[in-house]
Amino acid sequence: MKIALSKPVNRARAYGQPIVALESTIITHGMPFPKNVETALKVKQMVRDHGATPATIAIINGQLKAGLTDEEITFMGKNAKQFVKTSRRDIPYLVAKKKNGATTVAATMIIAAMAGIKVFATGGIGGVHRGAAQSMDISADLQELAQTNVAVVCAGAKSILDLALTKEYLETQGVPLIGYGTDELPAFYTRKSGLSVDYRLDTPKELANFLKTKLELGLKGGVVIANPIPESYEMEYAPINQAIEAALKEAEDQNVKGKAITPFLLSRIEQLTGGQSLQANIQLVLNNARLAAAIAREF
């Protein structure tokens, strides 16, 4: 399947220049308009400002795309309901039916790998949902990390999840969990979770060397590079957890499940925190884009 590459991404590939993949569910399912478009464009610019080419990934009219234009991002942001939240299972259907899809971590990894892009920046990965022992609700992101050779720079797993079980799942699948400048797994809105990472690396050069070594060894699968939210934007632990618990209770009462659960929870947490969680989300994504660009340059 041929991927449509933007001119900047195609040029960067031709000249062996650093590229950073970016997901698109943040545009359609992660934030309201116009913040979604503003943030997506800022993230692209952050990657450029730090020496790499941004490649926002999506499916438009059945075409796999790596490197959305500003106009395409704006169209997505204004017409979010036209875009299916897309994971691995959805890709062939959307391509066959020539439909639109906003890519999750899993789908972004797949298309990035097809395009030869090795570094990807996002907000937080999906994981094992709370109550998964009964619901079996486990994000496809984790299985994708087990098999697709793309490094994912994130602020840990989304704190609406069961972080301990998410970490166990990654360990079972052989996915390295690397802390950037930290020994502790960040929890999206906060820098601490009480859980350790597998290894700590403190510079983009060390991270790039780790990725090169893994590839040279022929070890299949991705890497989670956990990059804590900047201290100045970190939320207080107790209030954010109270908001998460309240949102989870509402989701349970309203029987919100499957693809709808994460967008519902993020939206309710934003409302419950008076918009503070949205500002934290924006800043952690920008922070991850900055680090991903630095890693891609070294790589």
The residues annotated as belonging to the active site are 23, 158
Q: Do 100 and 78 touch, CB atoms closer than 8 A? A: no
In this structure, are strands 53-60 and 100-103 parallel, antiparallel, or unpaired? antiparallel
Q: Is 60 helix (H, G, I), strand (E, B) or coil?
A: strand
Sorted by sequence, the CB contacts under 8 Å of residue 80 that are 6+ apart come out as: 27, 28, 29, 33, 36, 102
177: amino acid identity, one letter: L
Residue with tokens 């989870």: 248
CA distance 109 to 144: 8
Q: Is 8 exposed, middle or buried (0-12, 13-18, 19+ CB in 10 A)?
A: middle
Going along the chain, which residue ranges are E strands?
4-5, 19-22, 53-60, 63-66, 83-86, 100-103, 119-121, 151-154, 177-180, 199-201, 223-226
Nearest CA to 118 among 162, 153, 68?
153
> CA 55: distance to chain centroid?
13
CA 126 to chain centre: 8
DSSP 3-state of 276 = helix
Tokens, residue 87: 């994971």
